Amino acid sequence: MSARRPLPRWADIALLPAINLAMAFLVSGLVVLMVGENPLHAIQVILYGAFGYGEGLGYTLYYATNFIFTGLAVAVAAHAGLFNIGGDGQAYVAGLGAVVVALALDQTHWLLAMPLAVIAAGAVGGFWAFIPGWLQAKRGSHVVITTIMFNFIAAALMVYMVNRVLKPATTMAPESATIAVGGRVPQLRQFFSFFGYSPVNLSIVIAILALIGVYILVWHTKFGYAMRVLGANPTASRYAGISNSKMIMITMTISGALAGMVAINEVMGVQNRLVLDYVAGAGFVGIAVALMGRNHPIGIMLAALLFGALYQGGQELQFVIPGITREMIVVIQALVILFTGAMEGLFRPSLERAFMLFSPEQKTEAIAVSTAKSES
Amino acid sequence: MNTQRPGTAAASAPASGWAIELEKINKRFGAVHANKDIDLKVARGTIHGIVGENGAGKSTLMSILYGFYTADSGTIRVNGAPHAITDSRHALALGIGMVHQHFMLVDNFSVLENIILGVEDSGFIKPSLDRARKELDRLEAEYDLEVDPDAIIEDISVGQQQRVEILKALYRGAETLILDEPTGVLTPKEADDLFRVLETLRAQGKTVILITHKLREIMAITDTVSVMRQGEMVATLKTAETSPEQLAELMVGRRVLLRVDKTAANPGQTLLEVQNLVVNDDMGVTRVKGVSFSIRAGEIVGIAGVSGNGQSELLEAISGMRDQKAGQVLLKGTALSLEGDDGAARARAAGLAHVPEDRQRMGLVTSFSEWENAILGYQNSPQYGSGPFLDIGAAKKAAAEHIKLFDVRPANINLKTSLFSGGNQQKIVLAREMERDPDVLVIGQPTRGVDIGAIEFIHNEIIKMRDEGKAILLVSVELDEIRALADRILVMFDGSIVGEADPATATEGELGLMMAGIGKKEAAE
């Protein structure tokens, strides 16, 4: 038993993640070394590929857009003490809302189609998360179990919907009809040629608005306050007259709606049609993003950028260094998730001890403790 | 700190010798110096009390003696010989036994099985049980400790369970018994029985160390008393030569008024009425069985009872935290609708404030800052922002006011609530609930785990509210507190109100009998 002091806030949200990340890269470097490549060269390639030129940066931002949405979805639920691991499924079914609106309005203008599609995708994604929320609030089925099961239901449902309902009779591929220009979200490259052929699009503006919106929701509204009370102490929230069951259902709906925004980016911004499995695991990366970003919008933005860079830089790495295969990239990404997510607290105790020794006002105390121990 | 040591008694060795001698014991937990240079000598064959506020270091000291912790420095002598006690097995071998506040018994084992647990003679249980049964007969006769050796623990009363704990220690050859807050869970009658047992133990030459915060018990049973404050031993006195007032002053470090000054109640119209309330607990067991009573303006009604007789469920149902199975709660003649999991919000809106029994589990979100807790339960009030938005400035302003009015320390609204002491946390809850000017205030265990200095303040605030014409329902397991504050006492036993008493005339004995479910069964009201 020892009364360690908690870390200063800046160390908790910046230094600790940085150390974790450094460790992940260190171990990744060893792996690269083992396959006989130069780790420093690999890092250089990743950094250049992710940030070094317009098109690379565009890809990084495109991936980051998805991760911001799924990261926020996990974070909002986490503030209410709910672990929504169904972001993948929610983002996937939300594609139905997006594609229906986009196809219906693709002869009009994106200024009309995009806001309506946002609402439709949010509604469908929200509904997909509301059901697990309702099941937990009213029937006591834990959302961790139900949301992950809903991922599988979503996958089956989408295969059916794409093949039997959305696929035009004239195509062979399992995909919906192509959305005409009026129903597409404009690419940033239309405004800034700097971004080359990268698919980054105006969805990133929605992502930025979502970051700001979640910040306001969680810390500046009565609803956000109630949500945090529920997350921190469900007995106290009942004492405070907060309806836990309503809060769970509403929070899950908001969380699902945020995950559903992935559909805007993918369906209307990149693919221009509904294809199978377009979410590609972004929902699960969102868990790591939220964890690393400490459920705070700024942290989520930075973590999403990091993972976006890893995705894009990783692709680049395969091209430039043939010795590093696609599987190697997955290993590196997994190491980052492992160190920043699963083993996030690994260095906390030693960092706390270090802070006790090096911070001036705590140094005397720390010395007194160690002398008292050595006396006995 | 200027440490006063009035009459450091028993300095010269007694005829019977010292059972326990602690010298210059130091223990630190990180930055907290829990025990500073503690000296303590306990004479053999005496009852030695140790008093002090929460966090004064009593439990740490006893844990060191019993081998749970190792002291950073200092010497422990048992029967004159120095020992480095490394674990509780070692302490037991030296004849030191401990009866914990929370019993360490296996509920579905018999008394006998619990007693031999861990000290069986061999792999086969039968011979151990037979030997233990003989030994137990002898111990029970010698110390007048009657317990049926074949009874199952969960079937016997808490007082009996405590006896089993004592027998367990004696069976293991304890010469010195440490009892940590032994009366917290007992009725007054059971406490008296315990004291008789302790006296018998003393008469048989055993040594008893009694840790408690109840000064009355110290005065009643101990020979010598040591007072701890903030990790230091501030005085050791002969009980006969001291007074509760002096002990309280030593514990707190300043003069404390132990009695509550209050004028006679001047009750007005009925504000709160509870009719035939039936409440189940989380397991579906009926814990409140048709309770009715009413409280008028300017009146404090106290509900006395041993913990676990339905008081908690009653409080939670009245305040809207728990569904009621039958009956109703009327505020100013209007029935409160408390169904659903947001019943507490409607109770508050109607003017019923609630200070819960367990502030850390219910009344506060300890991971929140002080100001965030200052609006808990009132977060939807227009005072804290219009529309969906939270007016953080208004909340912080209210928090700062609460802190000033209730003298919360440290006066920092941005500090995490878990970092405040128990007394200050309780003040945060009280300030929040009292400052909204409710008609009815429902309070559970207002001073549990609160320092003596803060108790005085809290009691005065409750009386002040009464004098402002509020109706107050007070539930406490501290009989002294109920008797000091309440204008009427209702006694609750097994989910029913079994009697009503006037605090001015009722004796502790009468109340104790009612709390045990024996005695006159008057209908309340």
pLDDT in tens, B9-20: 445 667 778 999
| Residue B382, pLDDT score | 92
| Residue B519, pLDDT score | 56
pLDDT in tens, B402-452: 999 998 888 899 999 988 877 889 999 999 999 989 999 999 999 887 777
What's the rounded Cα separation, in Å, for the pair B357 and B426? 10
Per DSSP bridges, beta strands B352-355 and B440-444 are: parallel
Distance from CA of A2 to the nearest CA of B (A): 5
Q: Does domain B18-252 have CATH number 3.40.50.300?
A: yes
Q: At CB < 8 A and 24+ separation, what contacts does A372-375 make?
A: A372/B26, A372/B28, A372/B72, A372/B73, A373/B72, A375/B72, A375/B73
Q: Is the peptide bond before B410 cis (omega within 30 degrees of 0)?
A: yes
Task: Say if residue B57 is exposed, middle or buried (CB neighbours under 10 Å; 0-12, 13-18, 19+).
Answer: buried
Lowest mean pLDDT among A179-188, A233-242, A353-362, B342-351: A353-362
Chain A residues near residue B388 by CB distance under 8 angstroms: 221-223
- Residue ranges of domains in chain B: 18-252, 270-365+437-515
Q: Which domains does chain A have, with CATH numbers?
A: 9-346 (1.10.3470)
Instruction: State the average pLDDT for chain A.
Output: 89
| Residue A239, pLDDT score | 95
| Residue A341, pLDDT score | 73
Looking at the complex, does the CB of residue B382 fall below 8 Å from at least one CB of chain A? no
How distant is the alpha carbon of residue B428 from its chain centre?
20
Alpha helices, H only, A49-109: 54-79, 87-104
pLDDT in tens, B45-75: 999 999 887 778 888 898 899 888 888 899 9
| DSSP label of A109 | -
Amino acid letter, residue A246: K
Amino acid letter, residue B26: N
- Band the pLDDT of B348: cuts 50, 70, 90: very high
| pLDDT over 70 percentage in chain A | 93
Q: Looking at chain A, which residue has its C-alpha nearest residue B373? A: A229
When scoring B64, B323, B342 by the number of chain A Cβ atoms within 10 A, the one with the most, hence best to mutate, is B342
Selecting from A224, A240, A365 the residue whose C-beta is nearest the C-beta of B377 gives A240
Rg (CA), chain A: 23
Task: Say if residue A219 is exposed, middle or buried (CB neighbours under 10 Å; 0-12, 13-18, 19+).
Answer: middle
Say yes or no for a CB contact (<8 Å) between B31 and A372: no
DSSP letter string, A222-290? HHHHHHHHHHH-HHHHHHTT--HHHHHHHHHHHHHHHHHTHHIIIIIIIISS-BTTTTTTHHHHHHHHH
- pLDDT above 70 for B299: yes
What's the rounded Cα separation, in Å, for the pair B411 and B248? 26
Q: List strands edge to edge, sheet with B47-52.
A: B96-99, B176-180, B207-211, B47-52, B224-229, B232-238
- pLDDT above 90 for B524: no
Chain B residues near residue A372 by CB distance under 8 angstroms: 26, 28, 72-73
Say yes or no for a CB contact (<8 Å) between A240 and B344: yes
Selecting from A4, A225, A229 the residue whose C-beta is nearest the C-beta of B30 gives A4
Looking at the complex, does the CB of residue B351 fall below 8 Å from at least one CB of chain A? no
Sign of the dihedral defined by the CA atoms of residues B229, B232, B235, B236, in that order = positive
B182 is written with which tokens?
A: 């032994």
Distance from CA of B220 to the nearest CA of A (A): 36
Say yes or no for a CB contact (<8 Å) between A242 and B388: no
Q: Which of A58, A30, A53, A54 is nearest to A42 (CA)?
A: A30
- What is the rounded (10 degree) CA torsion for A274, A277, A279, A281? 180
Q: Do domains B18-252 and B270-365+437-515 have the same CATH topology?
A: yes
Q: Looking at chain A, which residue has its C-alpha nearest residue B75? A: A376
Separation in Å, CA A267 to CA A42, A264, A283, B482: 32, 6, 16, 68
DSSP letter string, B6-35? TT----SPPTT-EEEEEEEEEEEETTEEEE
- Band the pLDDT of B343: cuts 50, 70, 90: very high
Chain B residues near residue A365 by CB distance under 8 angstroms: 30-31
Looking at the complex, does the CB of residue B347 fall below 8 Å from at least one CB of chain A? yes
A183 is written with which tokens?
A: 């129903």
Alpha helices, H only, B204-303: 215-221, 244-252
Distance from CA of B256 to the nearest CA of A (A): 31
Selecting from B72, B342, B364 the residue whose C-beta is nearest the C-beta of A241 gives B342
What's the rounded Cα separation, in Å, for the pair B507 and B514? 11
Q: Quick one: average pLDDT of B97-121? A: 87
Cα angle B87, B93, B99 (rounded to 5 degrees) comes to 70
Sign of the dihedral defined by the CA atoms of residues A218, A221, A227, A231, in that order = positive
| Residue B525, pLDDT score | 36
Say yes or no for a CB contact (<8 Å) between B372 and A246: no
- pLDDT above 50 for B6: no
Q: Name beta bridge partners: B99.
A: B179
Looking at the complex, does the CB of residue B346 fall below 8 Å from at least one CB of chain A? yes
Say yes or no for a CB contact (<8 Å) between B342 and A242: yes
Sign of the dihedral defined by the CA atoms of residues B405, B410, B415, B421, in that order = negative
What's the rounded Cα separation, in Å, for the pair B216 and B197? 17
pLDDT in tens, A94-124: 999 999 999 999 999 999 999 999 999 999 9
**Contacts of residue B86, Cβ cutoff 8 Å, sequence gap at least 6:** B67, B70
Selecting from B344, B348, B375 the residue whose C-beta is nearest the C-beta of A238 gives B344
Q: Quick one: average pLDDT of A44-54? A: 92
A6 is written with which tokens?
A: 């908690």
Selecting from B32, B365, B389 the residue whose C-beta is nearest the C-beta of A232 gives B365
What's the rounded Cα separation, in Å, for the pair B50 and B180? 10
Say yes or no for a CB contact (<8 Å) between A236 and B379: no
* Total beta-carbon pairs less than 8 A apart between chain A and chain B: 107
Say yes or no for a CB contact (<8 Å) between B342 and A246: yes
| pLDDT over 70 percentage in chain B | 95
| Residue B144, pLDDT score | 80
Lowest mean pLDDT among A98-107, A160-169, A361-370: A361-370
Distance from CA of A359 to the nearest CA of B (A): 14
Task: Say how many residues make up chain A.
Answer: 376
| Residue A202, pLDDT score | 95
When scoring A5, A218, A220, A233 by the number of chain B Cβ atoms within 10 A, the one with the most, hence best to mutate, is A233
How distant is the alpha carbon of residue B257 from its chain centre?
20
Comparing A355 with B491, the larger pLDDT belongs to B491
- Band the pLDDT of B258: cuts 50, 70, 90: low
Q: Does domain B270-365+437-515 have CATH number 3.10.50.40?
A: no
Amino acid letter, residue B241: E
- pLDDT above 70 for A263: yes
| Residue A16, pLDDT score | 84
How distant is the alpha carbon of residue B418 from its chain centre?
20
| Residue A4, pLDDT score | 52
Say yes or no for a CB contact (<8 Å) between A240 and B361: no
pLDDT in tens, B219-231: 989 999 999 988 8
Residue A124: in which H helix or E strand, if any? helix A110-134
pLDDT in tens, B69-108: 888 899 999 998 898 888 888 898 899 999 887 788 998 9
What's the rounded Cα separation, in Å, for the pair B287 and B280? 5
Between helices A244-260 and A203-220, what is the axis angle to 10°?
Answer: 160
Looking at the complex, does the CB of residue B362 fall below 8 Å from at least one CB of chain A? yes
Cα angle A31, A35, A36 (rounded to 5 degrees) comes to 115
Read off the pTM: 0.79
Map B158-185 to HEC letters.
HHHHHHHHHHHHHHCCCCEEEEECCCCC
| Residue A337, pLDDT score | 81
Beta carbons of B147 and B165 less than 8 angstroms apart: no
Q: Quick one: average pLDDT of A264-282? A: 94
Q: Looking at chain A, which residue has its C-alpha nearest residue B384? A: A222
pLDDT in tens, A325-354: 878 888 888 888 888 777 777 888 888 878
Q: Quick one: average pLDDT of A290-296? A: 89
When scoring B341, B419, B428, B436 by the number of chain A Cβ atoms within 10 A, the one with the most, hence best to mutate, is B341
Chain A residues near residue B381 by CB distance under 8 angstroms: none
